[in-house]
Structure 1
Amino acid sequence: MFLAALFHDVGKLWDYTPYKKYHNGYEEAFFSLQEILNCFNRKEPNYMWELCWKGNPHKRLIHHISRSALCFQEAALKYNLSSEITDNILHAILSHHGLKEWGSPVAPKTRLAWLLHLCDGLSARMNDCNRVDAYLEKPQDH
């Protein structure tokens, strides 16, 4: 389960491009990885801009599920994982969205695949709850 959970969304690193979104609506690309990392090391929030991400052509052409499977396959070969373990984890990664209509190349067919799919769905719903909570905590203009 650990390897499936670790690798299932790693392909998103290729799907999104980070950028600065200024409060006046202006957007600016980052110039280096170090500049992005500095965002996470700030002691105080930057009130002039926020770190945002937007999908790029890789997301439309390759998609994170395929890239995640490729990354895991590469690691499995490097560390000589058995074909049984590799196939089970690859299946879980490829099926973690559940249905083909939701982006998975295959539907979950094993306990591991179902567990990863359900945990991924729960994580997404918790993120939805966090966004609702943040919205409700903001002062409303009435």
Structure 2
Amino acid sequence: MKLGDLFNDEYLEKLGLSTKSTANHKMISEISENDFVSVDLKVVSKKMQESKDGKKFLLLTLADRTGEVRAIDWYNAGENDSKVKVNSIVKIKGRANVYFDKLQITLDKDRDSLITLKDGEYDPNLFVSITKKDVGAMYTEFQSILSNISNKEIKALVNVPFEDDTFVESFLTAPAAIVVHHAYKGGLLEHTLGVIKLSREIAHLYPDVNEDVLIAGAAFHDLGKIQEYEIKSFGIERTTEGELVGHIVLGIKMIDEWAKKVPNLPLKDLRHIEHLVLSHHGELELGSPTVPKTVEAIILHSADDLDSKMGQISSLKEKGSENDWSEYDRYLGRKIKFNWDDNED
């Protein structure tokens, strides 16, 4: 697909890649102690509890695309517990305060301090983050790299999905994850381009790398995520296929279908490209059905792992760039140091 001048504000709005509509809505990351807030948030969890003096209250974990916050309802707990469901979107009114060093929102006494919203009554972009990078520039660079594949059959295979406008739009808007790296609209494009560029740079350092196979594998490695995830009005979720099959197998099925349109593609090249996709997680316990067994597969796994980690670090930095250290991250298995004091030993 040659999008060219289509990457304007109107086209980005159509794809849900415009951030303009949330500009006047306060996000969780912008709430400070003592703020009175009226905000739309997603219900992550809810639990009825009882204080030491026997008073029942409703404890909620609420979220938007910038993070989570706890909310507590002392006044209409039973009523709100019965009408609120997990994953629903609610409008809450209350005062922000700090409890044990954590921000929380205490709901107002009024019965309308918590209202369940229906589709169309809130902005879905509040709950799904959007890449901060230029989608048009990224896709143009992505296409430019693919156009340099020299093997005619491999190039024809790679072109098959990207000549389908509907597929391209799905690729442009898809996330690369639900909660970890590149978990936002446009994240799959951003991650795929990063992996391709890293793979190409690594390949140039070593002899006898089949760069055409490597670039094709890098372009295809996560395309199954287009079918694994779906963006709903309240966030990113796994599809039934995603839960039962997973993006690696879904991706292989897609490649097999595309290969039928390139009858002259040598079987050895198809199997090699598919091996890259199958093994890109690197280890069996990480979800790959096989480990990397070619130079190209090892390079792709390394590039994928690096870009994933750097994407996660970028997300951590956005959440706490003013701090010297990030919070402990389960995905990375460590904290990350962001800032250095010139006086540190």
Q: Same-fold call, TM > 0.5?
A: yes
* Alignment deviations for residues 39-96 of structure 1 (CA, whole Å, 9 cap, x no partner): xxxxxxxxxxxxx311222122110000111111222221121011001101110001
Q: 2:233 corresponds to which residue?
A: 20
Structure 1 residue matching 2:290: 3-state secondary structure: coil
Q: Which amino acid aligns with 1:128?
A: Q
Q: Which amino acid aligns with 2:248?
A: I
* Identity among equivalent pairs (%): 31
Q: 1:8 aligns with which of 215, 221, 238?
A: 221
Q: Does 1:98 align with 2:282?
A: yes
Inter-partner Cα distance in structure 2 for 1:138 and 1:54 = 31
Q: Does 1:70 align with 2:253?
A: yes
Q: 2:272 corresponds to which residue?
A: 88
Q: CA deviation at 1:138?
A: 7.0
Q: Which runs of 4+ in 1 moved over 3 A?
A: none
Higher strand share: 2
In the alignment, structure 2 segments of 5+ residues that lack a partner are: 1-213, 324-345
Q: Which amino acid aligns with 2:237?
A: K
Q: Which amino acid aligns with 1:78?
A: K
Q: Which amino acid aligns with 1:63?
A: G
Scaled by the length of structure 1, what TM-score is found?
A: 0.71
Q: 1:61 corresponds to which residue?
A: 244
Structure 2 residue matching 1:78: 3-state secondary structure: coil
The farther-off stretch of 73-82 and 60-69 is 73-82
Structure 2 residue matching 1:53: 3-state secondary structure: strand
* Cα contact 1:11–1:65 (8 A) shared by 2: yes
Q: Does 1:110 align with 2:294?
A: yes
What is the root-mean-square deviation in Å for CA atoms of aligned residues? 1.6
* Cα contact 1:8–1:69 (8 A) shared by 2: no
Q: CA deviation at 1:137?
A: 3.4
Q: CA deviation at 1:129?
A: 0.9
Inter-partner Cα distance in structure 2 for 1:57 and 1:95 = 23
In the alignment, structure 1 segments of 5+ residues that lack a partner are: 22-51
* Alignment deviations for residues 110-131 of structure 1 (CA, whole Å, 9 cap, x no partner): 0111111111111110111111
Inter-partner Cα distance in structure 1 for 2:238 and 2:304 = 20
Inter-partner Cα distance in structure 2 for 1:64 and 1:106 = 15
Q: 1:37 corresponds to which residue?
A: none
Q: Which amino acid aligns with 1:93?
A: V
Structure 2 residue matching 1:4: 3-state secondary structure: helix
Q: 2:310 aligns with which of 113, 126, 129?
A: 126
Inter-partner Cα distance in structure 2 for 1:94 and 1:68 = 9
Q: Which amino acid aligns with 1:92?
A: L
* Cα contact 1:7–1:71 (8 A) shared by 2: no
* Alignment deviations for residues 23-47 of structure 1 (CA, whole Å, 9 cap, x no partner): xxxxxxxxxxxxxxxxxxxxxxxxx
In the alignment of these two chains, the number of paired residues is: 109
Inter-partner Cα distance in structure 1 for 2:284 and 2:259 = 25
* Alignment deviations for residues 2-34 of structure 1 (CA, whole Å, 9 cap, x no partner): 21111111110111120233xxxxxxxxxxxxx
The farther-off stretch of 52-61 and 64-73 is 52-61
Inter-partner Cα distance in structure 2 for 1:69 and 1:115 = 19
Higher relative contact order (CA 8 A, sep 6+): 1
